[in-house]
Amino acid sequence: MSSVQSHELQRFIMLREGIKEVAFRAFQIKLLALNATLLAKRFGEQARGFVVISTELRDFSQLLRTQMEGLGENSTKLVSLASYELKLLRQLNLLTRAGQHTSHDRLQNAQGQLQTQHQQLQRQMGQIHSAMQTWVDDAYQACLFGTVIARTAKIEAAHAGPLGAALADASNQFSNYVEQILPNLEQLKQALKG
Bigger pLDDT: 2 or 5? 5
Q: Using CA atoms, how far apart are residues 154 and 57, in angstroms rounded to an integer? A: 12
Confidence of residue 3 (pLDDT cuts 50, 70, 90): low
Question: In this model, does residue 160 exceed pLDDT 80?
Answer: no
- How does pLDDT run across 169-192, given as a tens digit for each residue? 888 998 999 889 999 898 888 888
Residues across the chain: 194
Residue 17 has pLDDT above 80, yes or no: yes
Would residue 78 be called left, alpha or beta, if left means φ above 0 and alpha means ψ between -120 and 50 degrees?
A: alpha
Which is higher by pLDDT, 134 or 9? 134
Confidence of residue 1 (pLDDT cuts 50, 70, 90): very low
C-alpha span between 185 and 177 (Å, rounded): 13
CA distance 86 to 91: 9
Cβ count near 97 (within 10 Å): 9
More confident residue, 69 or 161: 69
Tens of pLDDT, residues 58-95: 999 999 999 999 998 998 888 888 889 889 989 988 88
Range 133-138, long-range pairs (CB < 8 A, 24+ positions): 133/189, 133/192, 135/67, 135/70, 135/71, 135/74, 136/71, 136/185, 136/188, 136/189, 136/192, 137/189, 138/67
- The answer to whether 151 and 175 are in contact (CB under 8 A) is yes
Domain ranges of the chain: 2-193
0.95 surpassed by pTM? no
- Average pLDDT of the segment spanning 106-126: 90
Average pLDDT score, the chain = 86
For residue 31, what pLDDT band results from cuts at 50, 70 and 90? very high
Do 81 and 170 meet the contact criterion of CB atoms below 8 Å apart? Answer: no
* Banded model confidence at residue 122, pLDDT cuts 50, 70, 90: very high
Say which DSSP state 160 is in: T
